[in-house]
Chains A and B, each alone.
Chain A
Amino acid sequence: MDLNNFFLMRHELTLLVIILILLIAEIFISEAKKSRVVSLALLLFGIHTVSGFFPLAESNLFGGMFRSNELIHFFKNVLNLGVLILLLQSADWVKEKMTSNDRGTEFFILLFASLFGMYFMISAGDFLMFYIGLELSTLPIAALAAFEVMKRSSSEAGIKLILSAALASGVSLFGISMLYATAGSIYFDEIILNITADNLTLLGFLLFFAGLAFKISLVPFHFWTADVYEGAPISIASYLSVISKGAAVFILMILLFSILKPLMEVWEKLIYVLALATMFTGNLFALRQQNMKRFLAFSSIAQAGFILLGLITGTQLGTATVVYFVTIYIFSNLAAFGVVQAISLQTGRENMKDYEGLYRTNPNLSLVMMLALFSLAGIPPVAGFFGKFFLFTAAASEGYYLLVFLAVVNVTISLYYYLLVIRAMFIRKGEDPIPFFRNKVYMRIGLLITVIGILALGLYSPLYDYIFQLSGILK
């Protein structure tokens, strides 16, 4: 393995360098100038995101443990973009934490460490690398969920996340060991040759699947979601619902469509049932939420149910639509979380009731929120519509008409509660509306990027064609 090959891990290496630079900066920057770390982190990560778009060769490293191809590369870029937006949106919040209780640099270090784990998880060529990536992506997030240590709810969220995650990864590891027992290898390339649908393999697959389903918050592995989102800082809730979920969907798709393809007879039934359970549960719970973070938590569970509609197909079309949908979902959900974050940062208010009359006092924020919710609900002509439309097309083209019909019913339910928020903002007068405020510049950029994404991604069709062509790699 020469040095050139080593640069296949360019994403991982630069992120590692950034983490190290931040560690050093933390030591050497004086107390008074601490908040400069935020700008430094943003700058470095911005460079990292941009540099990520330079093409990479397709090859394997470490005897097949680490894989890299154009599709995986694209996944990482999408995640980078999401994290960059998230950093922009939470920059002011971190700055505030730095001045008030001298904590902050670890926010970036932990966040990047988690992203680092996700890179390895997506690039994994065997179950060992996958498992290490999975753990590395989860553990720092548990620490971050408890970032506001003084707040009881934040610590509670941290505990709940770490306990649930430990259970999930334990179950998953158990499943992996069974797969190893039946297939005789942990390398994907070898498993694919030996896998058969016997009972032990099925049980192993199921247990392994539960671990990932936990990360995507599929029903019935979703219970932690709402509590953790509510208690954790908004940035972290946002990270969990967007980046973490997106990465888990990507790797699940890679595995289902490649090494687990022989089990398709079985997993398509599983996904069918889970898709329905997830959509209905997410939507029914979302109907009655008052806290915006809990509301978005259940809405994101429901969205995960929609994603399964693309996964069930196992085709190139399915892959393309899932990737496309997740990309759009990242922008839409980050926009929604961004607005919640902005309002919470300025006023500390997080309930739907507080949003009443928002349009009169903060028209721009309300418009961003409206676009985000329209996109999540799938109303044309914003991007979310195209995302859902293509997902449903993919499922229908494989003959899942009933599932698509029920998904449409769910879209209708979801429309109801998304419109509840819009009604609160635009129609209700509100006794005590949030007063007008101006966002800081990072937040504005963060929101602006999401808005551009929501408006442009749906109409800019070359993106879809590009994704479709990339998706051929998985077959």
Chain B
Amino acid sequence: MNLSYILLIPFVPLAVFLVLGIFNQKIKPAVSGYVGVAGLAISTLLSYYTAFQYFFVHGKADGVYQTFVDKFIWMHFTESLHIDMGYLIDPISVMMMVVVSTVSLMVNIYSRGYMKGDDGYTRFFAYLSLFTFSMFGLVLATNLFQIYIFWELVGVSSFLLIGYYYTKTSAIAAAKKAFIVTRFADFGFLIGIFIMGYYTGTFDFQELTNPEGVVILNWASTSFMGLSVITWALILIFMGGAGKSAMFPLHIWLPDAMEGPTPVSALIHAATMVVAGVYLVARLFPMFYLVEGGFALQIVAYVGAFSSLFAAIIAITQTDIKRVLAFSTMSQLGYMMMALGVSGFEGHEGVGYMASMFHLFTHAMFKALLFLGAGSVIHAVHSNYLKDMGGLRKYMPVTNITFLIAALAIAGVPPLAGFWSKDEILVAAYENSQFIYYIGVFVAGLTAFYMFRIYFGIFWGKDTKYEHTPHESPSSMTLPLLILAFLTLIAGFVPFSELVTADKTGFEAHLNLPLAAIAVGVGLIGIILAWIFYKKENDLATRFASAFGVFYKWTSHKFYFDEIYFFMARKVFFKSVAAPIAFFDKKFVDGTMEGIGNKTVLVSRKIKAIQSGKVQDYAFGFVAGVVIIAFVFIYIWTN
């Protein structure tokens, strides 16, 4: 299988970024939009071609999907420990390339309409391309260090895009918050990488995840505080993943990240970057599963399940539609983590792994669609808040229909994409842990409810009097909506269990009818409740809210997590740790440094006279130097 063209997939967006970045001022905005879209189109075509070639033509040998790697050594540390650069082709990386390129292309097309007339139009497309490049690099990484480098690059592009409206203070604050929180998580990731590298002597994914390899067989060789060091490393690496994928308690940045332009939220904070954490766990899955009886994987499962529930509850009470979608994303990411957490490894036992990847794939399509739809609505009414919306179905038919399709998909209504992947997740959970299964079912009901709450709130409900009559978005924006809606309709029929599995051999997945019926039933109950509450304007919702009283207040304030963090940072951490350190730093460290600095300048002033400008003095210096060194040489050093 000739794969050298794979490099084009990340490098075309990089080239686009460089061109747009360097000629920022000289390119007409209209042209830069086309350049961005054209670059992405090339990457998308190549990704699809690769996927086709890999899954259906060349990828399989003896019923097992092969891993293709091409890499070179980038930096030597020791004989075995080195950082490589290269690409790795296996089912999940190919699948991710398809997801990233599809969503990115849609977002690029959509942004041509959405960002029209904006001052930083070219800059926006440059950043989008930078992000896409980094994301491809992350997906194709062959080792922990390479993934870390691109992981940070992705973080930087996310920072740039959240803070895109850099004149808005809230946008800057959100960008900083996202960066700092994920950086904090990445700190754990980095330590995890170091521990892994130190104890296993390799960063390479293939060596690390080989079930029969030395790394996995020798996991018990060193332990620390009752656990194997490898388990510790995995937990720390998962911390990095949890930060990027907004898992509790590192989720606080995601809602604020909605300050960025809506296409960015669709691309980065719904479909691609936030699933990087899930992807990372999937990448190292054999380690998570096999080391220490899957202890680290248990943590993944519970963190995922809890985040999923926690976020779904908060999503019910939010009034900013983008924030509802943000919490919904967090909840669905929790679902994916949970699915990985309950998965086994071989054959049908690996259904959780398969389901997680499947859900990642379908979720990317319908969540991007939801965000782009929300963007279309926001574009029309110039507000993010539900109270400013209502009855829009008359004005925006395309947006209405596509949004409905996506909402039905996320609610798990057959035969849309979300139904299939969610069903597999619930099957996996049911086989592994009843407790997690019930959480999953409950979350499914909540998801249907909050999603239809905003759907009815936006497109039905009260007839708001608009200052300007809203109108349907331009075709550059509705076209991606239609394409994504189409993908949402068909994505569920991709035979994932044949293609993307933990042990890379396909298995037969059947629909578990009772479980599917329960899930669909719960989803429908959620939709019907939302229908009763929000279809027509009535005070049911408010009455319920006041009946729940304190609990409602807590939820709408996101359980005061921002405030807790703020308190911890400001009052506790700053006062008790940062302030003394700052004092020490100012008085002692700075004092010493300034002292040294002053002395250095003083010395440099004094010795300036040596450089007299007379060539005789120089000759004297030369000869004196030789003589002194000669004496030292012969009489002192050699005895």
Interface residue count for A (Cβ, 8 Å)? 35
Q: Which of A197, A226, A227 has the most CB of B within 10 A?
A: A227
**Would you give the 0/1 interface string for A252-290, flagging 1 where the beta carbon is closer than 8 Å to chain B?**
000000000000001001100000000001001101100
Contact check, B615 vs A270: say whether CB atoms are below 8 A apart: no
Q: A164, A203, A221, A227: which contacts B630 (Cβ < 8 A)?
A: A203
Interface stretch (choices B189-197, B267-275, B617-625): B617-625
Among B98-106, B299-307, B444-452, B597-605, which stretch is in contact with chain A?
Answer: B597-605
Check: A67 CB closer than 8 A to any chain B CB.
no
The answer to whether the Cβ of A462 comes within 8 Å of any Cβ in the partner chain is yes
CB distance from A67 to the nearest CB of B (A): 29
Residues in A121-162 with C-beta less than 8 Å from chain B: 159-160
Q: Is B225 an interface residue (CB 8 A)?
A: no
Answer whether A287 and B601 are a contact pair too, CB < 8 Å, given A202-B633, A461-B72: yes
* Contact status B75-A159, CB under 8 Å: no
Interface residues on B, range: 20 to 34
A167 neighbours in B (Cβ, 8 Å): 619, 622-623
- The reply on A413 being an interface residue by CB < 8 A is yes
* CB <8 Å contact, B611 and A206: no
B465 located at the interface, meaning its Cβ lies under 8 Å from any Cβ of chain A in the complex: no
On chain A, the residues within 8 Å of B75 by CB distance are 461
Report yes or no: B626 in contact with A210, Cβ–Cβ below 8 A: yes
Q: In whole angstroms, how far apart are the Cα atoms of A223 and B629 in the complex?
A: 17
A168 within 8 A of B: yes
Say whether B626 contacts A206, CB under 8 Å: yes
Q: Are B607 and A285 in contact (CB under 8 A)?
A: yes
Q: Does B226 contact A (CB under 8 A)?
A: no
A197 to B639, CA, bound (A): 12
Q: What is the CA–CA distance of A219 and B607 in the complex, to the nearest angstrom? A: 13
**Is A220 an interface residue, CB under 8 A from the partner?**
yes
Q: A287 contacts B624, CB within 8 Å?
A: no
In the complex, whether B468 has a CB less than 8 A from a CB of chain A is: no
> Is the beta-carbon distance between A227 and B613 smaller than 8 angstroms?
yes
- Most chain A CB inside 10 Å of its own CB: which residue of B600, B608, B626, B638: B626
User: A210 to B604, Cβ gap below 8 A?
Assistant: no
Q: Is B540 an interface residue (CB 8 A)?
A: no
For A101, list chain B residues within 8 Å (CB).
Answer: none
Q: Are A285 and B622 in contact, CB atoms less than 8 angstroms apart?
A: no
* B611 close to A285 (CB less than 8 A): yes
Residues of B within 8 A of A281 (CB): 607
Given A227-B613, A461-B74, the answer on whether A270 and B605 have CB atoms closer than 8 Å is no
Partner of B600, one of A159, A223, A287: A287
**A426 on the B face (CB < 8 A):** no
Would you call B548 an interface residue if the criterion is a C-beta within 8 Å of the partner chain's C-beta atoms?
A: no
Question: In the complex the two chains form, what is the Cα distance from A290 to B478 in whole Å?
Answer: 62
Complex Cα distance A287/B615, Å? 23
Which single residue of chain A is at the shortest CB-CB distance from B593?
Answer: A412
Which A residue's beta carbon lies closest to that of B636? A269
Interface residue? B466 (CB, 8 A): no
Taking A164-B619, A199-B638, A207-B626 as contacts, is the C-beta distance between A288 and B604 under 8 angstroms? Answer: yes
Q: Which residue of A lies closest to B617 (CB)?
A: A223
Question: B637 on the interface (CB 8 Å rule)?
Answer: yes
B638 and A197: CB pair below 8 A?
A: yes
Q: In the bound complex, do residue B600 and residue A221 qualify as a contact, i.e. CB atoms below 8 Å apart?
A: no
A462→B600 contact, CB < 8 A: no
Other-chain contact of B603, A159, A207, A284 (Cβ < 8 Å):
A284
Shortest CB-to-CB span from B388 to chain A, Å, is 44
**Which residues from chain B contact A226 at a C-beta distance below 8 Å?**
611
Of A163, A207, A220, A461, the contact of B621 (CB 8 Å cutoff): A220
* B630→A206 contact, CB < 8 A: yes
Choice from B85, B608, B617, B637 contacting A285 with Cβ under 8 Å:
B608
Q: Is the CB of B633 within 8 A of A214?
A: no
In the complex, chain B residues whose CB is within 8 Å of the CB of A220: 621-622, 624-625
Contacts of A224 in B (CB 8 A): 615, 618
Asked if B634 is at the interface (CB within 8 A of a chain A CB), the reply is yes
Determine whether the beta carbon of A168 is less than 8 Å from that of B600: no
CA distance A456 to B611 in the complex (A): 38
Per the 8 Å Cβ criterion, residues 165-196 of A in contact with B are 167-168, 171
**Which residues 38-94 of B sit at the A interface, judged by CB distance below 8 A?**
72-75, 85
Select one of B72, B611, B621, B630 contacting A462, CB under 8 A: B72
A199 — which chain B residues lie within 8 A by C-beta?
634, 638
Of B72, B74, B607, B615, which is within 8 A of A164 by CB?
Answer: B615
Bound form: Cα–Cα A220–B630 in Å? 13
Q: Is A102 an interface residue (CB 8 A)?
A: no
Are A270 and B604 interface neighbours, CB within 8 A? no
The smallest beta-carbon distance between A419 and chain B, in angstroms, is 13
Interface string of A424-446 (1 = CB under 8 A from B): 00000000000000000000000
Residues of chain B contacted by A269 (CB below 8 angstroms): 637
Interchain CA distance A20-B235 in the complex, whole Å: 71
Q: For A58, what are the chain B residues with a Cβ–Cβ distance below 8 Å? A: none
Please name all residues of chain B whose beta carbon is closer than 8 Å to the beta carbon of A221 when the two chains form the complex. Answer: 622, 625
Q: In the assembled complex, which residues on chain A have CB atoms less than 8 Å from the CB atom of B638?
A: 197, 199, 202, 266
| Contact flag A223-B607 (CB < 8 Å), given A202-B634, A461-B72 | no
| Structural contact, B622 and A461, CB atoms closer than 8 A | no
What is the CA–CA distance of A206 and B626 in the complex, to the nearest angstrom? Answer: 7
- Cβ proximity bits B563-604 to A, threshold 8 Å, 1 near / 0 not: 000000000000000000000000000000000010011011
Residues of chain A lying within 8 A (CB to CB) of residue B621: 220, 223
- Interchain CB contact (< 8 A) of A223 among B604, B622, B637: B622
Q: Which of B611, B623, B637 counts the most A-chain CB atoms under 10 A from its CB?
A: B611
- Chain A's nearest CB lies how many Å from the CB of B350? 37
Q: Say whether, besides A206-B630, A461-B73, A288 and B619 are in contact (CB < 8 Å).
A: no
Report which of B85, B597, B608 forms a contact with A288, defined as CB distance below 8 A.
B608
* B433 → A minimal CB distance (Å): 46
Cβ-defined contact, B629 with A206, below 8 A: yes
Q: Which residues of B485-515 have CB atoms within 8 Å of chain A's CB atoms? A: none
CB distance from A137 to the nearest CB of B (A): 19
Q: Which of A206, A214, A413 has the largest count of B CB atoms less than 10 A from its CB?
A: A206
A196 and B191 CA atoms in complex are apart in Å by 51
Complex Cα distance A104/B617, Å? Answer: 33
Which residues of B have CB within 8 Å of A227? 611, 613
Given A163-B615, A203-B634, A285-B604, does the pair A168, B629 have CB atoms closer than 8 Å? no
A416 to B, closest residue via Cβ: B597
Taking the nearest CB of chain B, how far is it from the CB of A444, in angstroms? 15
Other 4 A-B pairs with CB < 8 A, given A227-B613, A266-B637, A288-B605: A171-B623, A197-B638, A223-B617, A284-B604
Could you list 20 examples of A-B contacts with CB < 8 Å? A159-B615, A160-B618, A164-B619, A167-B619, A171-B622, A197-B638, A206-B630, A210-B625, A220-B624, A221-B625, A223-B611, A226-B611, A227-B611, A266-B633, A266-B637, A281-B607, A285-B604, A287-B604, A288-B601, A462-B72
| Interface residues of B, Cβ cutoff 8 Å to A | 72-75, 85, 597, 600-601, 603-605, 607-608, 611, 613, 615, 617-619, 621-626, 629-630, 633-634, 637-638
